[in-house]
């Protein structure tokens, strides 16, 4: 089950639906879920593409560019001998420009 399908399944359960069937017609055939034996739900992810180094890529691919850089900065700051704490926040706006 893909991540977005897991989100939908959790949402349907949170809404109180009891008879949730995943891929009722077989693997990789729509719909992704069936409820009430007659309602099909197909899960789709809408992607926004941005330009990264001149190549068009989905926004979610930014996590592979930005998050490791942010984690490296935090690891570099991690020193148990320092007598103080450091708070950190990651803010971003769209459109994102990554180089």
Write the pLDDT tens digit of every residue in 29-39: 999 999 998 99
Q: What is the pLDDT of residues 2-40, one digit of tens each?
A: 888 999 999 999 999 989 999 999 998 999 999 998 999
pTM of the model: 0.52
CA gap 77, 7 in Å, rounded: 34
Residue 17: what pLDDT? 93
Contact criterion met (CB below 8 Å) for 31 and 10: no
3-state class (DSSP) for residue 76: helix
pLDDT value of residue 13: 95
């Amino acid at each position: 089950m893909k991540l977005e399908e897991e989100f939908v399944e959790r949402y349907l359960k949170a809404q109180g639906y009891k008879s949730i069937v995943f891929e009722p017609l077989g693997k990789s055939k729509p719909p992704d879920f069936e409820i009430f034996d007659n309602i099909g739900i197909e899960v789709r992810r809408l992607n926004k593409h941005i330009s990264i180094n001149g190549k068009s890529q989905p926004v979610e691919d930014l996590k592979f560019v930005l998050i490791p850089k942010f984690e490296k900065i935090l690891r570099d700051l991690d020193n148990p001998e320092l007598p103080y704490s450091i708070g950190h926040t990651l803010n971003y706006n769209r459109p994102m420009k990554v180089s």
